[in-house]
Structure 1
Amino acid sequence: MGKSTQIRLDWSLVRRLIFGSPLSTEQLSHQRLPKILALPIFASDALSSTAYATQAILLNLLIAGPHVLHLTVPISIAIVVLLWIVVISYTQTVYAYPQGGGTYIVSRENLGIRWGLLAAAAILTDYVLTVAVSITAGVQQITSFFTNLAPYQTELAVAAIWFLTLANLRGARESGLLFAFPTYFFVITMLSMVAVGVLGPLFGYQPRSYPPPEQTAQTAVHALSLTVILRAFASGCAAMTGIEAVADGVIAFRAPESKNAAQTLIAMGVILSTIFLGISYIAQTNHIVYYGHGAHGEDASAESVISMAARAVFHDNPLLRGVVLFATAIILLLAANTAYADFPRLSSILARHGFMPRQLANLGDRLVFSNGIILLAVFVSILVVVFGGSVDRLIPLYAVGVFTAFTLSQAGMVRHWLQQKGPGWRWKMLVNGIGAVSTGIVLLVIIVEKGPQGAWLVVVVLPVLMWLFTQVNRHYQKVRARLTLIGYEPPPPPPHTVLVLVPDVHRGVVPALEYAREISKDHRAVHIEINPADTQRLKERWEQWGGDMPLVIIESPYRSLIGPLVEYVRQVRQDHPRHLITVVLPEFVVTKWWERALHNNSAFLIKLALGNVRDVVITNVRYYLD
């Protein structure tokens, strides 16, 4: 076995250890997800939002003072009603569109391509922000406990991003197995806390409530108004982020795909509603107040609502409270996995439709859309670095994309029922219509209230992405029109001129000379003179090995190899405008990877330089140093 073969085998082994063994296309059905694994992959984003949804309601209600915190549960109930409208809507979507695509497909087919592209831009933006917010929020939980790691929050976030990237590059099934236990651990932990906190009093167990807060001039910045309530409602709607993931990823489920996806969506809705309402109830009945990080001028503790709820329910038991916080931190980190499942899948659909680069449509060795996964990781890493790993700076950008998608999807389903009719179509259209109006209102509130805090950036990004989609599509249409065979008559074969670049005369060059003689009688060798002494030695060897091939020597007073060569090729093109010119580059291949650094490797740069010269073919003739 040769050394080069050994190197390739070693790299193959390393790649398999990191990414796993390649999977054949026939194994695609085995990579489909059962419901028990699909739930943690697609629901982790939505479930993790319970960690900050109630908290957001409390913080916004506090603007009017602690005495209005009794509205926490009513607002939460209103959000849950809206949540179930959206869940039911998407349940109908997964049956109507079993091929997946969710919001994009629904909007495209029912509202038109432009609205479909807006939906795609919105949902892709939301996926990027989902990863960024979830990762930075999870890292913040960790650095809050291990305070010595706080200066490295950005680095830890980027490391977590690429850990998730690696896990997802190994395949959907393996990532599902990796994230199943933490997600179910979070669900069991939170349901247990909610059960004790809500049902405990029925059996004589009373949580340790916080003392009722007093109304002061500092705690009431504004009087209670519809604006305050709407702001609290809009902020609490963070609990709904991630619901659309199942509809976008129907194709990832085992058969019957639509049925399994719908059941997973319903299960997610039940768990999400229960935990969210439970936390809101515990917060309201136990007088929990969340002041935030210095919000409204208060120099108050930033202890999370989840932490305070655990204190109240478990009587400040450090072990049980620690378990709750650990489960919460883990789910926040893993919530990003939902986006890792759906961003690449939606990108592949857009790529197949010609609105994103076609490379994103290709399945990788592990039957996942590897290019889309890597693209997502790059975008999120840049975003996290630019925003300094701060979840507080990222959150205002959140939710604009997802509520834009909600509104378009449900408006599209209204149009769908109007066109398709079918059993119960009026009721279904009514549900979708109510959902479209409700989510549209919430979207406007979010834009108005969070716009000055950074949401305007997403509003700007969405049309920019739509423009990029159309430019990509326009390019593909132009290429398709130029490559069509309709009405095409191939021209006669052109005359052929071959130029062999000869840096020296040795064994690595001789095969290139023979190749040039074989493909054309019009051949010549070209030497770029950098050092006249080297040129003289080359001439002496050329008399023995050059044969009848002419040798053209081009002086390079500035010691450049590429510039004079390109100029000479252009001159040959000008002298022979109908000729096809082949530039042959002799190249010897070393056996060890590190030995490449010891040679100039100019062939790659020459290819780049000649790549834009018309009717020029560049050929490498390799000689292996075995």
Structure 2
Amino acid sequence: MVSKVKRLLIGRPMKSNELDHEKLSKVKALAVLSSDALSSVAYGTEQILIVLVAAGFTAIWYSLPIALAVLGLLAILILSYRQTIFAYPQGGGAYIVAKSNLGVPTGLLAGGSLLVDYILTVAVSASAGTDAITSAFPGLHDHSVLIAVSVILLLTIVNLRGVTESASFIAIPVYLFVVSIFVLIIAGVFKYMTGGAHANVPEIGSAVSNVSLFLLLKAFSSGCSALTGVEAVSNAIPNFKAPAEKNAAKTLMMMGLILGIMFTGITLLAYWYGVMPDEKATVVSQIAESTFGRGGLYFFIQGITAVILFLAANTAYSAFPLLAFMFAKDKYLPHAFMVRGDRLGFSNGIIFLGVLSALLVAAFHGNTESLIPLYAVGVFIPFTLSQLGMMVHWYKDRPKGWQNKFAVNTVGMLTTLTITLIFIITKFSSVWMAFIFLPVVMIVFHRIHGHYLNTADQLRICPSTDKPCIKGSTVVVPVAGVTRAVLHSISYAKSLTENVVAVYVGFDEEEIHKMEQKWEEWNPGVRLIVLRSRYRSIIRPLVKFIDTVEWKTASTDHITILIPQFITKHWWQAILHNQTSLFIRSYLMNQKDIVVATVPYHLHK
């Protein structure tokens, strides 16, 4: 049953040699890896206005120079990450760059920040998409968390079906969103040119008495949330078709161009229409309503905006599993993240991302605004460390023309460092958790790494001196009665050795007497040892007996505990029986340095 449902949801298993078919073309990669960055158009301008409106309506003209500064930073980041793609074509982005040039701890900080950021990406995208839906249908506002979690579940299932299939699913709505925003911008500009804009919008340069540098910096840092997701292409280079680095670089440039045009257009329209932030209606919703009215085009734009905000999470679903794979390969995350699933994706990483992001949405009650500052800080730390790492890379290697590349990364590093500091200073009340969470994540990485090193050290052998130790064998079979499961186990035990003993734990004399009689009548040729338990515990007397056997035979025999277990035909039937054998096996495997094996006997009715 479980297998059939799995096949229905994620499809047939794929062969390992089909991996090349899972590589992305530029068209599909632009949709999958740019959905996060492109979707930020829906809330980037809004985040600027939310800060500026604190100084009054006349302050909204500052959104234009702030947007220009954001565009300048976007250009710097695009050029910087283009250089990173060619310098580190194996992918990994900030983690690989920082680890290679700034040391392992810095690499872990950059990579850990990205891993946390990808979880936040999914949570923010789901929450923002839900906001777009509730803007159009206010009656759904009370169900925001349920809608967001349901979409995360859907995206998790889609991504478990494989990179190519998820890209095919995502490409159409992403490109529809781009087209619809371009149509909105063109129609909005036309309306402005024909005198349809807000009549009382403040003029550029109007004096605003209560606007401070602190407020402007806070608004700028909020607008920089539109740049999250820019690094995703450099992280996921292995997902591209050959030549991977060239295709990745072209995709990155195209993404930057589209993002720049859309962000500029939405910011201009918001200013011309005098749009003010509203909890019940997003900025894009207000612009669309002002341009087209509350008709078919409005609802189409709202619908496709909600879809793209949901699908923005797919950037994280593409990049998180790859980055987690690299961490696991370096022994800083569990090796389970290195395992490819039936559809050749890193399924454990996809499931882990979906579960954590859903929990985050529930914890924050779907409040996008409270997640965005934490989300943006999580990405600007890797931005800064990546740029610094590339500066060190160019200075150490000094290839031809390295000075220009060094200058680009220097400007990028100083700019992103400034943004990070602005975020920390102006939004400390929203981002203070990062200063607790990131050190905890770093500690977890080091504990995992230490465990793997210790495990390898303890398991390592010396080929010249460490040889197998040939011993005899003593088999102990715990029995609960005279059954076919016991018969099956004793038959198997006697095929291994003649040194077999059965052990029965009894709670009262009547039970013990009946068991001894049945055993004597059956006479399987194996001695039965009866242990009396005063406190109705099976494990405690059994362990004491094993300790005795271990003390007597450890130097001459290997000790095997052979546990009989019958397997019911249907899973629900197992609930009707106590699972003593499972408890015995679990306890002994965790407490004793002996062989513990189970002999199954399958029931057919």
Q: Provide the TM-score with structure 2 as the length reference.
A: 0.95
Correspondent of 1:418 among 387, 395, 401: 395
Correspondent of 1:211 among 179, 197, 200: 200
2:424 pairs with 1:481: no
Q: In 2, are the aligned partners of 1:110 and 1:412 still within 8 Å (CA)? A: yes
Q: Measured at CA, do residues 355 and 625 of structure 1 come closer, stay the same or move farther in structure 2, by a change above 3 Å? A: same
Aligned match of 1:52: 43
Q: In 2, are the aligned partners of 1:527 and 1:553 still within 8 Å (CA)? A: yes
Give ranges in structure 2 of 5+ residues lacking alignment.
Answer: none
Aligned CA-pair RMSD: 2.1
Correspondent of 1:248 among 212, 235, 249: 235
Correspondent of 2:434 among 458, 473, 480: 458
Deviates more, 1:614-623 or 1:79-88: 614-623
CA distance in 2, matches of 1:466, 1:112: 14
Q: Measured at CA, do residues 13 and 304 of structure 1 come closer, stay the same or move farther in structure 2, by a change above 3 Å? A: closer
Aligned match of 2:313: 336
Q: Tell me how far 1:313 sits from its aligned partner.
A: 2.9
Q: Tell me how far 1:568 sits from its aligned partner.
A: 2.2
What SS does structure 1 have at the residue aligned with 2:12? coil
CA distance in 2, matches of 1:412, 1:512: 61
Q: Tell me how far 1:282 sits from its aligned partner.
A: 1.3
CA distance in 2, matches of 1:457, 1:243: 24
Q: Measured at CA, do residues 14 and 531 of structure 1 come closer, stay the same or move farther in structure 2, by a change above 3 Å? A: farther
CA distance in 2, matches of 1:447, 1:604: 52
2:507 pairs with 1:530: yes
2:123 pairs with 1:132: yes
2:571 pairs with 1:584: no
Q: Tell me how far 1:364 sits from its aligned partner.
A: 0.6
Q: In 2, are the aligned partners of 1:585 and 1:620 still within 8 Å (CA)? A: yes
Q: Measured at CA, do residues 508 and 317 of structure 1 come closer, stay the same or move farther in structure 2, by a change above 3 Å? A: closer
What SS does structure 1 have at the residue aligned with 2:90? coil
Q: Tell me how far 1:123 sits from its aligned partner.
A: 0.4
CA distance in 1, matches of 2:591, 2:50: 63
Q: In 2, are the aligned partners of 1:589 and 1:624 still within 8 Å (CA)? A: yes
1:85-100 equivalence runs, <5 A: 85-100=76-91
What SS does structure 1 have at the residue aligned with 2:503? strand
What SS does structure 1 have at the residue aligned with 2:502? strand
Deviates more, 1:386-395 or 1:440-449: 386-395
CA deviation string 1:454-479 (max 9, x = no partner): 20101221111111111111111111
What SS does structure 1 have at the residue aligned with 2:177? helix
Q: In 1, are the aligned partners of 2:475 and 2:493 still within 8 Å (CA)? A: yes
Q: In 1, are the aligned partners of 2:33 and 2:315 still within 8 Å (CA)? A: yes
Aligned match of 2:251: 264
Give the 4+ runs in structure 1 shifted more than 6 A. none
Q: Tell me how far 1:351 sits from its aligned partner.
A: 0.2
What SS does structure 2 have at the residue aligned with 1:389? coil
Q: Measured at CA, do residues 188 and 116 of structure 1 come closer, stay the same or move farther in structure 2, by a change above 3 Å? A: same
Q: Measured at CA, do residues 137 and 282 of structure 1 come closer, stay the same or move farther in structure 2, by a change above 3 Å? A: same
Q: Tell me how far 1:114 sits from its aligned partner.
A: 0.7
CA distance in 2, matches of 1:43, 1:535: 71
CA distance in 1, matches of 2:274, 2:525: 97
CA distance in 2, matches of 1:532, 1:505: 17
CA distance in 2, matches of 1:313, 1:430: 43
Q: Measured at CA, do residues 385 and 37 of structure 1 come closer, stay the same or move farther in structure 2, by a change above 3 Å? A: same
What SS does structure 2 have at the residue aligned with 1:528? strand
Correspondent of 2:531 among 554, 559, 564: 554
Q: In 1, are the aligned partners of 2:61 and 2:202 still within 8 Å (CA)? A: no
Correspondent of 2:426 among 449, 456, 467: 449
Q: Measured at CA, do residues 496 and 265 of structure 1 come closer, stay the same or move farther in structure 2, by a change above 3 Å? A: same
Q: In 2, are the aligned partners of 1:508 and 1:587 still within 8 Å (CA)? A: yes
Q: Provide the TM-score with structure 1 as the length reference.
A: 0.92
Q: In 2, are the aligned partners of 1:57 and 1:233 still within 8 Å (CA)? A: yes
CA deviation string 1:286-321 (max 9, x = no partner): 32233x44xxxxxxxx4321122223333x252222
2:335 pairs with 1:358: yes
CA distance in 1, matches of 2:315, 2:480: 54
Q: In 1, are the aligned partners of 2:89 and 2:245 still within 8 Å (CA)? A: yes
Q: In 1, are the aligned partners of 2:214 and 2:426 still within 8 Å (CA)? A: no
CA distance in 1, matches of 2:416, 2:56: 27
2:48 pairs with 1:72: no
2:59 pairs with 1:81: no
CA distance in 2, matches of 1:125, 1:365: 26
Q: Tell me how far 1:285 sits from its aligned partner.
A: 2.5
Q: Tell me how far 1:68 sits from its aligned partner.
A: 2.8
CA distance in 2, matches of 1:195, 1:137: 24
Which amino acid counterpart does residue 606 of structure 1 have in structure 2?
Answer: I
Aligned match of 1:323: 300
2:178 pairs with 1:187: yes
Deviates more, 1:350-359 or 1:609-618: 609-618
Q: Tell me how far 1:484 sits from its aligned partner.
A: 1.9
Q: Tell me how far 1:206 sits from its aligned partner.
A: 4.0
Aligned match of 2:369: 392
Aligned match of 1:236: 223
Deviates more, 1:381-390 or 1:171-180: 381-390
Aligned match of 1:27: 18
Aligned match of 2:404: 427
CA distance in 1, matches of 2:543, 2:132: 58
Q: Measured at CA, do residues 304 and 472 of structure 1 come closer, stay the same or move farther in structure 2, by a change above 3 Å? A: same
Q: In 2, are the aligned partners of 1:524 and 1:550 still within 8 Å (CA)? A: yes
CA distance in 1, matches of 2:145, 2:347: 24
Count of aligned residue pairs for this structure pair: 600
Q: Tell me how far 1:47 sits from its aligned partner.
A: 0.7
CA distance in 1, matches of 2:159, 2:199: 43
CA distance in 2, matches of 1:140, 1:561: 57
Q: Tell me how far 1:488 sits from its aligned partner.
A: 4.4
CA distance in 2, matches of 1:145, 1:324: 10
Aligned match of 2:348: 371
Q: In 2, are the aligned partners of 1:581 and 1:615 still within 8 Å (CA)? A: no
Q: Tell me how far 1:107 sits from its aligned partner.
A: 0.6
Give ranges in structure 1 of 5+ residues lacking alignment.
Answer: 1-9, 294-301
Aligned match of 1:502: 479
Q: Measured at CA, do residues 439 and 258 of structure 1 come closer, stay the same or move farther in structure 2, by a change above 3 Å? A: same
Which amino acid counterpart does residue 233 of structure 2 have in structure 1?
Answer: V
Q: In 1, are the aligned partners of 2:225 and 2:372 still within 8 Å (CA)? A: no
Q: In 1, are the aligned partners of 2:82 and 2:252 still within 8 Å (CA)? A: yes
Q: Tell me how far 1:211 sits from its aligned partner.
A: 3.3
CA deviation string 1:168-205 (max 9, x = no partner): 1111111111111111111000011112223566xx64
CA distance in 2, matches of 1:14, 1:227: 55
